[in-house]
Amino acid sequence: MKSQRPILKYSLFIIGLFFLFSFRFSEPKNRPSLVIEFNHFVGKDKLILDSLMYKNEFNQSYSIGKFRYYISNIKLRRKDGTEYASNEYYLIDVEDKKSQQIVIREKGNYSSISFTIGVDSLHNCSGLQKGALDPVNGMFWAWNTGYIFLKLEGKSPYSKSPSNIFEYHIGGFKQPNNCIRQVRLDLPEKTIQVVEDDADLLSLSVDISEVLKTPKNIDFTEFSSVTDFNNATMMADNYADIFGVIKY
C-alpha cells in the first residue's frame, strides 16, 4: 500500500492540472469592451509637441511641450437608465500613447458619459499611493499635500518668464480653491453599443486651446505661470469644457 501512495499523489496532481487548464481555456477569449480614446488637438489642429506654433486669443504664438491630466470616476449611462461606474484613476499623458486609451469591460447601450477632471479630496489626503496616483509620475506637489490635476507647459515669445516658458500646474480640492471639475457628454445615437464578444470605440476630442480661453482668455504677458492656488480656479473653469465627442 505504501508504494501506491506516490502514484496516487501524482495521479491527483495530474487530474488537478487537467481541471485547472480546462477551466482557464474554457473561459471566453473575448469579453465585451469599450475603448475610450483621447485625441488631442489645439483648436482644429492635431497636437504636435514642441515644434508646431499655435495662436491664443490675443494672437500670441506658443508651442506645447507637456500636457497631462487626471480622469476619474467614469460613469457610463445606459439608455435603460442603469449606469456603469468606475472608481479608477487615470493619468492621461500626451507623451504616452498607451495612457490615451481606457478600456471598459462592460456591455451596454450607452447614451452618455461623465467623469471628473482631478482627484477627489479622499485620495488627495490618503498618503503614498500607487499606479496613476504614484508621486513618481510628477503630478504630486512636494510643497503641499495634494495632486496636480492638470499640467500644461510650453513656450511663447510673449512670456516674461525665464526662457519664455509658460507653466500651468492646476490643483486644489478645498474651497474656495476647488479645481475639481465635472464633465458630462451626450453620445450620438447608436455610437456605443457594446455586446458580447464585441468591442466599440468612443473617441473623445481634447482641445488644449480651451485651457487658455473661455471664460478667461489667457494673456501670456500677464499669466505665464500658475503653479499654486492663485488663479487656479480661473484656469480650472477654462479646462472644464476641453472635451467633446468625435462623430464618425
**177 phi and psi, to 5 degrees?**
-115, 35
Residues 6+ apart with CB under 8 A from 239: 69, 117, 150, 170, 181, 210, 211
Q: What pLDDT was estimated at residue 20?
A: 44
Q: What pLDDT was estimated at residue 247?
A: 79
pTM metric for this prediction: 0.85
Q: What pLDDT was estimated at residue 19?
A: 43
DSSP summary character for residue 234: H
Give the integer Cα–Cα distance in Å for 116 and 88. Answer: 11
Using DSSP's 3-state secondary structure scheme, residue 109 falls into strand
Give the integer Cα–Cα distance in Å for 126 and 101. Answer: 26
Q: What pLDDT was estimated at residue 167?
A: 98
Per-residue pLDDT of the chain (248 residues; tens, 9 = 90+): 555 555 545 554 454 544 444 434 444 455 678 999 999 999 999 999 998 899 999 999 999 999 999 999 999 999 999 999 999 999 999 999 999 999 999 888 999 999 999 999 888 776 668 899 999 999 998 766 689 999 999 999 999 999 999 999 999 999 999 999 999 999 987 567 777 667 788 999 999 999 999 999 999 999 999 999 999 999 999 999 999 999 76
Q: What pLDDT was estimated at residue 25?
A: 41
Q: What pLDDT was estimated at residue 141?
A: 86
